[in-house]
Amino acid sequence: MHINVRGTRKIISNVSSFTPRYEFPKYSMPLTDFKGHQVKALKTFEKLLPQMNMIIELRDIRAPLSTRNVVFDRIARKEHDVMKLVVYTRKDLMPGNKPYIGKLKNWHEELGEKFILLDCRNKTDVRNLLKILEWQNYELETNGGYLPMGYRALITGMPNVGKSTLINSLRTIFHNQVNMGRKFKKVAKTGAEAGVTRATSEVIRVTSRNTESRNEIYLIDTPGIGVPGRVSDHNRMLGLALCGSVKNNLVDPIFQADYLLYLMNLQNLNDGRTELYPGSTNSPTNDIYDVLRRLQVNKSQNEKSTAIEWTNKWRLHGKGIIFDPEVLLNNDEFSYKNYVNDQLEKLGDLSYEGLSNKLKGNPNQVF
Ligand SMILES: Nc1nc2c(ncn2[C@@H]2O[C@H](COP(=O)(O)OP(=O)(O)OP(=O)(O)O)[C@@H](O)[C@H]2O)c(=O)[nH]1
């Protein structure tokens, strides 16, 4: 990809000679982590869609492009009436700069997409989402009346973006309202690894009928669905690895660490203040082995384990880092609408038979 970068290169601290990399090398790696159970989930997803009143697509705020899956757009386009809401998760890990949110707003306006940000574990944030659901339910009810199957929302998204955590938080709020004090079991399994949920769930009730509404609100949890190789590329695979949306061991940890370094240097080019790795403000480097040496706690720790430790730390708790270079590079030519259309074009027709056959015949899962 050729990137046309605007000529306003800020100087990082007092190191005037340092130039970050604007492109990342294409190391050898698989370009997708698409699996058989995901094809099955897609078929169920498509079948369930006509019964749905809303699709809630979760994406990781640190990688708004990489965790956007056009497979969902392709399926949802067939159902014109269904409302779609994008929920960016991990708000708590988001960079605190206003321009980023401004950029996101502009992008979504281009497509007329509604979005909110939340931390799936934060009660206030999750209550706000519940209010949106209740409001939509109320609107529908006042216009159309009673829904015998209740108001239904399908929760979708890439693996590990927080779907099950969000459902559990919504359930906890509901449970505390109706069953004060008594313990209850989590309904959706959660975990730090991609692919914890492997089957589409039964309907999960999150509100009861009350004086304002006769419709109950239900959610349906789905397994995380990755992108087929034809809409993926090296940068995307690396971004997804850093978010935890593909299996950790698919991409060499040194490549992941190097990609993180590439992103950090680009980020410092924009912000110019944060100590993202040892010496990043006064002696920045593009050499990952140099950074790993700086990070090593003792001589016996090897480069690979240092890389794993460092990327894990950022994947799980790293605050203020963005994993999509398109967000960090001030590229005037970038258009969100064109990006999405380009992805849809690359995806082409979604043929499940084709996907299943290619999965069977291709151990590298690249298709
Ligand atoms: N910091 C932070 N962590 C979160 C948030 N939401 C979820 N997590 C964590 O992210 C990890 C993955 O969450 P899950 O809810 O299992 O993700 P999922 O989308 O259901 O995953 P799959 O089953 O693989 O599709 C868990 O360790 C959660 O605790 C959030 O908003 N902020």
- Predicted pLDDT of residue 89: 97
Reading the block at residue 37, the tokens are 């159970």
- Predicted pLDDT of residue 46: 83
Who's near 4: CB < 8 A, 6+ residues apart?
331, 332, 333
Q: Order the strands of the 54-60 sheet from edge to edge.
A: 114-117, 83-89, 54-60, 151-157, 217-221, 203-205
Q: How far apart are CA 86 and CA 56, in angstroms?
A: 6
Q: What do you get for the CA distance between the two ends of the chain, in Å? A: 20
Q: What is the fold, at CATH topology level, of the domain defined by 34-219?
A: Rossmann fold (3.40.50)
Q: Compute the distance from residue 246 Cα to the ligand 1 centre, in Å.
A: 13
**Tens digits of pLDDT across the chain (367 residues):** 444 444 444 444 445 689 999 999 999 999 888 877 788 888 888 888 888 899 999 999 999 999 999 998 888 766 567 889 999 999 999 987 678 888 899 999 998 889 999 999 999 999 999 999 988 888 888 887 677 788 899 999 999 999 999 999 998 887 776 655 555 555 556 565 555 555 555 678 877 656 566 788 899 888 889 998 889 999 999 999 999 999 888 999 999 999 999 999 999 887 766 789 999 988 999 999 999 999 998 878 899 999 999 999 999 998 889 999 998 887 778 899 999 999 999 988 776 665 555 555 444 433 3
Cβ of 226 less than 6 Å from ligand 1:
no
CB 71 within 8 A of CB 57: no
Q: How far apart are CA 86 and CA 308, in angstroms?
A: 31
Cβ of 190 less than 6 Å from ligand 1:
yes
Q: Inter-axis angle of helices 253-271 and 303-317, to 10 degrees?
A: 50
Cβ of 60 less than 6 Å from ligand 1:
no
Reading the block at residue 296, the tokens are 């090593």
Residue with tokens 């949110």: 101
- Predicted pLDDT of residue 362: 45
CB 322 within 8 A of CB 101: no
Q: Which residues pair with 157 in a beta bridge?
A: 58
- CA-nearest of 196, 246, 204, 206 to 221 is 204
CB 139 within 8 A of CB 50: no
Cβ of 74 less than 6 Å from ligand 1:
no
Q: What atom of ligand 1 comes closest to residue 222's alpha carbon?
A: 25
Please give the ipTM for the structure prediction.
Answer: 0.98
Q: For a pocket test of ligand 1, which of 165, 240, 247, 319 has the largest count of ligand atoms closer than 8 A to its C-beta?
A: 165
Cβ of 312 less than 6 Å from ligand 1:
no
Cβ of 158 less than 6 Å from ligand 1:
no
Q: What is the fold, at CATH topology level, of the domain defined by 230-329?
A: Conserved Hypothetical Protein Ylqf; Chain: A; domain 2 (1.10.1580)
Q: Is 162 annotated as a binding residue?
A: yes
Domain boundaries, the chain: 34-219, 230-329
Q: Is 144 annotated as a binding residue?
A: no
Q: What atom of ligand 1 comes closest to residue 161's alpha carbon?
A: 19
